Structure 1
Amino acid sequence: MELRDFIVTPIIILLVYTVAYILRSSVTDSVTRPYFFPALTAKILGALALGFIYQFYYSGGDTYNFHSYGSRHIWEAFMEDPAAGFKLLFGDGSNELGIYKYSSKIAFFHDRQSFMVIRIAAVFDLLTFSSYSATAVLFSIISFIGLWMLFVAFYELKPELHRWIAIATLFIPSVVFWGSGLLKDTITLACLGIATLLTKRIFIDKRFNIVQALLLLLCFYIIFSIKKYILLSYLPALMIWVYATTLAKVRSTAFKVLMLPFVIIIAAVSGYFTIAQVGKDDPRYALEQIGNTAKITAYDIAYLTGHDAGSTYSLGELDGSFSGLLKLAPQAINVSLFRPYIWEVRNPLMLMSAVESITLLALTIFVIFKRAATLFATLLNPHIIYCMVFSLTFAFAVGVSTFNFGTLSRYKIPLLPFYALALIFIYYENKETKLDEFESTE
C-alpha cells in the first residue's frame, strides 16, 4: 500500500457510488433494486480484500505482478513519454524503438494473455494515478457489470426466483473474492455474464442490435485473448442453448422429436468447429494436443508455478492423450465442484472453498432427491442444459489440468454461478412457486 492508495481510492469509490446512484433506476426495477448496492459493495470489498491478502498473506502474486511490474511501467511511460505509452498500450508486443526502457521491466510483456490484463489495468491507471487499490476497484466494477447482466438474464427468465438467482450470480463468496480484483479471472468472468445476456437478447429474445452484436464479439475476443480454454467450454454450451431454446418454442411434440437429432448434430458440429478454430490460433488447444496441454499445465501448477498457492491433489497419472483425460472426467468434475473436503483443508482460504464445496454437495444431493422422479424431463429445459453443459464441461477442464486446490479455487469461479443456477432451475421446474411475496414487491 502506498500513500496514493489512501488518497485516490476513496475518491474513486465515491465517484463509483455517485455514478451507480445516477444509473441505478435505468438498470433496475422494483424487484432487482434492493440487490444493486449490496452486490456493488460486495465486489468492491472483494477487490480490496484480495489485494490485502496478496500483500500480507502471499507477499506478492499475479495481481501485484500485473500492476507493480506491469501497468505501472506503462503509466510511467505515459507520464514521461506519451508516444512510448501509446506504443506499449496498442503495440503488437514487440520491443519497438523507444519502449525498451519500459518494456524490459514488464514481467509479462511477451505473455499475450497476461499482457492483455496489464493493458486494461494501464488504462485504469491513467484514471487512478497508478494506485493499485483504486485500479483494483475499477476491475471490481467491470466484474459487477458482468455479473449483474448475468443476474438480469436469468431474472428475466424466472422473475419469481429473483432472490435465489441473486444469491447464485452476485453473492457466492469465492466468486466475490476471486472474481473482483486485478486478475485475469475478473475480466473473463465479466465477459461471460455480458455474453450471456447479449446472447439472450439477440438470439433468444430476437431483439437484434448491431451494438449488442459488436459487444458480444468483443467479449468473445477478450476471453479468447486471456483464457482460450474458457471459450472452448463456453461457446458450445452457448450454441446448444440457442438451438435448444428455438426447438423448445415449437409446439408440435412430433416435430420436436424429429428435429432433436438434427439439433444435436448441428450443436456438435458447431462445437467441433469452435474448438478447431481456437486450435488454429494456438496449437496447444488443438484437439490432438489438448491432452498434452492439460498434462503440462497440471504438473506445472501443482509442482512449480502454483506450488505455494495451496495443497496439491492428484486424479491419477496423465498420459497426455485426450482419451486419458476423459477417463478422469468424473474425478475432475468432482474435485472442481465438491472438493476440497474439510479434512483436506491446509489454510484459511481453503476453508472458505471447502465450506462452499460442502454446501454445493449438500444442495446437489437435496435437489436430486427432491426431483428424482422428474429429473430427466427437467434436464430438457434449455436454460438448465446451457448451465449444466458449461459448468460440467468447465469443471472437467479445470479439474483435470490444475492439480492444486489453491489455484483451482480461483480457476473454477466461472462455473459456480452457472451450476448454482442449474440447481435452482431444476428444483423449481414444474413446481408451484409462491408468488405472493414477489407480487407484493411489484
Structure 2
Amino acid sequence: MSILLIYLVNLLILGGLVWWLYRQAWTQKLRPYFWLALGLKLLLALTFAIFRYSYANSSDTHVYHAASLQLMEYAGQHPSAYLRLLFFNQFESEAFRASLPFSRFPDFTNSFYFVKLLSVLNLLTAGAYYLNNLYLSLFSFWGSLYLVSVLTRVLPKYKSAAVAAFLFFPSVVFWSTGVMKEPVMFGSMCWVVGAALQLAQGQKLSIWTWLLLPLQVYVFIKIKLFYAGLLLPLLLAYVLVQRLKVYVKPLQSPRVQLLLLLALAGVVVLVVMWQRSVFNPDFILWNLERNYSTLLSRSQHRPHINLHDLEPTLLSMLLHYPEAALSSIYRPFLGESWRLLYLLSGLENLLLLLLTALAVASAFRNGASRRVALLHVLLLVFILCMAGVTGLSTPNFGTLSRYRIVYLPFLVYLLLQNVYAQRLLQRLRFP
C-alpha cells in the first residue's frame, strides 16, 4: 500500500472519528468552541511533531517510535508470537528481548506497555509517525472533552473555568499531544474522572460508557501506576460518599462527608499498599530519590529544583515536600532562564501566581462555597500530592513541565472559580 493511500485512508478514519465525536449528545453544549479547541490541539501536535522528530535531538519519542516499528515488523513475520508478546509478555528468545528497549521488566515498565500500544496503532498507520501523533492527540482530546462536558453538567456555573483549564490552557494542550505517554495518560485519566463524577451525581451511564470504563481504568493504571494509585482511591471514596448521602441522613453534613471521604480513601490506599510487591513504601521512597538524583546529575547546567540532602526516607521527603510542591507549581520563575521553553513556562507560571492571588483574595472576601466543598477537597488533595511527587522526583523544569499535566488542569480549574477570575473570563467573552 502506497504511503499516499495510507495517509488518505487514515485521514478519512480520523475525520470520521472527529465527526462522530462532534455528533455525540454530550458535546452539544461544547460545540461553540469544539473546532477551535480541536484545531489548536492538532496544529500543536503536528507542529511539535515536525520539530521534535525531524529537527530536535534524539529523545524518548524517537525511541518509542523505533521500538514500535520493530514490533510492527515482528508482527508481520511472526503474528502468533507477536500476540503472545502483546497479551502475555512472552518472548520467543532472550536475544529478541534484549533487542527491544524497556523490555527488561516487561510486566512493570509503562514504557514497554506504551511501545506495545504504539505497535498496535502502527498496524493501522503502517508506522507513520505523524498519523500516530494525530491519533494519540485525538484520544487525549476525547478524554478532556468528555470530562469538561461532565463538569459542565455537575457545575454549570464554572463551565468557562473547565473549558479554559482542560481545552485551552497552553501547557496542558501542548504536552497532551504527540507520540509520548502523556497523551494516553491524560486522555484515560480525564475519561475516568468524568465517569466517576457522573456516577457520584447519580447520572445514568450509557452502555458504551460502562463497557469502556474498565478499559480506560486499565490503560490509566498501566501508563501511570502511581498516579492511578492515588487518584482512583479518591474517586472511589467520592462516589461512595456521594451515593451514601442520599440514603444516610448524617451524611448530609459536609463535615461528615469530608471525614468519610478521607477515611475511605485512606482505607483503599492501605489495602492497595498491602500488596507490597507493587506499592512497597520503601521502594516508592527509594524510587523517588533515585529519579531525583539521576535527573539532577543531568540538570546542573539548567535551572532546576535543588533539594539539599534529599534522602529516601519518609522524614526527608516530608521536610522537602513544601519546596518541592511549590517549585513544581510555580517554577521556573520568569527570568531564571531566557531559553524559549523556560521563558514560556515562566510566563505561564506568572499567570498561575496571579490566579492564586486572586483566589486567595476572593476566599478571604467572599468565603468558600460549601455546596461543592467535597469535590474541591478531592481535587485539592490530588493536586497537592501530585505536585509534591513530581517535585520530589523531577528537578529538571523541562521534564517537570510535561509531568505536571497530571494535576495542572485541575489546579487551573479551581483557581478560575473565584469571583474575580469569573468576571475576567466574562470580560474576555470566554464561552
Shorter-normalised TM-score: what interval? Answer: 0.7 to 0.9
Q: What is aligned with 1:126?
A: 123
1:271 match: 269
Whole-Å separation in 2 of the counterparts to 1:165 and 1:394:
20
Q: 1:287 is matched with which residue: 277, 281, 292?
A: 281
Which of residues 137, 141, 161 is equivalent to 2:138? Answer: 141
Q: Does the residue aligned with 1:407 lie in a helix, a strand or coil?
A: helix
Q: How far apart are residue 186 of structure 1 and its match?
A: 1.2
The number of residue pairs the alignment matches comes to 423
1:399-410 to 2 correspondences below 5 Å: 399-410=391-402
Is 1:96 the counterpart of 2:88? The answer is no
Contact 2:101 2:112 survives alignment (8 Å): no
TM-aligned CA deviation for residue 119 of structure 1: 1.1
1:232-271 map, 5 Å: 232-243=229-240, 245-246=242-243, 256=253, 257=255, 261-271=259-269
Alignment counterpart, residue 348 of structure 2, candidates 331, 337, 356:
356
In structure 1, the partner of 2:60 is 62
Q: Is the 8 A contact 2:200 2:242 kept in 1?
A: no
Q: Describe how 1:103-182 pairs up with structure 2 within 5 A.
A: 103-110=97-104, 111=106, 112-182=109-179
Q: Work out whether residues 337 and 361 of structure 1, in 8 Å CA contact, stay in contact via their aligned partners in 2.
A: no
Select the residue among 36, 40, 49 that pairs with 1:51. 49
Q: Which amino acid aligns with 2:29?
A: V
Structure 2 unaligned residues grouped into runs of 5+: none
Note the alpha carbon deviations across 1:228-282, whole angstroms, 9 max, x for none. Answer: 22123312432453355457768968962566544443332223323444xx342
Q: Aligned residue for 1:218?
A: 215
Tell me how far 1:132 sits from its aligned partner.
0.9
Q: Is 1:142–1:190's contact at 8 Å kept on the other side of the alignment?
A: yes
Amino acid at match of 1:221: Y
Give ranges in structure 1 of 5+ residues lacking alignment: none
Note if contact 1:202-1:213 (Cα within 8 Å) is conserved in structure 2. Answer: no
> Paired residue for 1:74?
71
1:97-135 superposed Cα distances (whole Å, 9 cap, x missing partner) = 5x955x443222235311111111111111111111111
User: Would the aligned equivalents of 2:86 and 2:116 in 1 still touch at CA under 8 Å?
Assistant: yes
Aligned-partner residue type, residue 191 of structure 1: S
Taking the aligned partners of 1:255 and 1:63, their CA distance within structure 2 comes to: 49
Q: Which moved more, 1:388-397 or 1:21-30?
A: 21-30
What secondary structure is seen at the aligned counterpart in 2 of 1:345?
A: coil
The CA deviation at 1:53 is 3.2
What's the TM-score once normalised by structure 2's chain length?
0.87
- Residues 151 and 78 of structure 1: CA distance in aligned 2, closer, same or farther (over 3 Å): same
Q: Which 10-residue stretch deviates more, 178-187 or 44-53? A: 44-53
Check conservation: 1:145, 1:190, Cα contact below 8 A. Answer: yes
Please give the secondary structure, in 2, of the residue aligned with 1:342: coil
Identity of aligned residues (%): 25
**Partners of 2:256 and 2:57 in 1: how far apart?**
60
Counterpart for residue 336 of structure 1: 328
Q: Distance in 2 between matches of 1:151 and 1:183?
A: 23
Q: Which residue of 1 aligns with 2:194?
A: 197
Single out whichever of 34-43 and 173-182 deviates more from structure 2: 34-43
Q: Confirm whether residue 370 of structure 1 aligns to residue 366 of structure 2.
A: no
Residue 374 of structure 1 and its aligned partner are, at CA, apart by 4.4
Q: Residue 364 of structure 1: SS of its match in structure 2? A: helix
